Each structure stands twice: as structure tokens, then as C-alpha cells.
Amino acid sequence: DTGVSQDPRHKITKRGQNVTFRCDPISEHNRLYWYRQTLGQGPEFLTYFQNEAQLEKSRLLSDRFSAERPKGSFSTLEIQRTEQGDSAMYLCASSLMASGSGTDTQYFGPGTRLTVL
């Protein structure tokens, strides 16, 4: 399977604990995105990487959130001191943004569902 994969698929944690999620993009894709989705809403952008560089962060991404893509391949999203409001589906997507291209089709992974008790 050469699609986007995410691990774990489900995570239950207690408030105040730290959690880390992993995303493996489609191998030749240079862009990697993180989104958060809550019930009844579409995905909300959190941050994205072009290769290993983190180019943009949403204001939704508080200082408790950090994302890395150290070698330009897989990425991790860490949430420190989790709060109940962090409960959501965390989606990763990747795309191949060709130089000079204005279009960017993102392909999503299955998501990690986080429940903070």
C-alpha cells in the first residue's frame, strides 16, 4: 500500500499527558500537511511542510503543539499537556507540488482519533 499512513489510529489519554502521532506520506511527495477535524466540521489546517521546512502554522496550533519532519519524509505531531478540547481526529495529507504548478492535490491518511479524558 503506497498511500498515506498514520499511527496510531486511536489514542486515549488522560488530561495533562503528552501524545505523539506519526505520519508517513506518499514516498515521492514533497509536501506534508496536518489537519484537525471535529464532529460535523471539515478538516481545519494546522501546519504544513515543504520537504523538511515547516512553512506555515495556523493560529489553531497553540504552543502546546509541535510538528517536525526531520528528514523530509515522515512527520510527527506532538501535543503537550493535552486538554479535553484537543479531542479530535488528526489528519495528515501529502502532495507533490511541482515547481511552477499552481495546483496541489492532497491525499489524506486514515487519521488518528484522539480522546482526552
Partner 1 sequence: DQQVKQNSPSLSVQEGRISILNCDYTNSMFDYFLWYKKYPAEGPTFLISISSIKDKNEDGRFTVFLNKSAKHLSLHIVPSQPGDSAVYFCAASALNDMRFGAGTRLTVKP
**Least distance in angstroms from the C-beta of 20 to partner 1:** 19
For partner 1, the closer of residues 47 and 82 by Cβ is 47
CA distance 115 to 88: 7
Using the minimum distance from each CB to partner 1, give the nearer residue, 75 or 106: 106
- Return the C-alpha torsion angle 88, 94, 99, 104, nearest 10: -60
Q: Which residues bind partner 1 (CB under 8 A)?
A: 4, 6, 33, 40-45, 48, 55-56, 91, 93, 102-111
User: Min. distance of Cβ 93 from partner 1 in angstroms?
Assistant: 8
Residue closer to partner 1, measured from CB, 48 or 65: 48
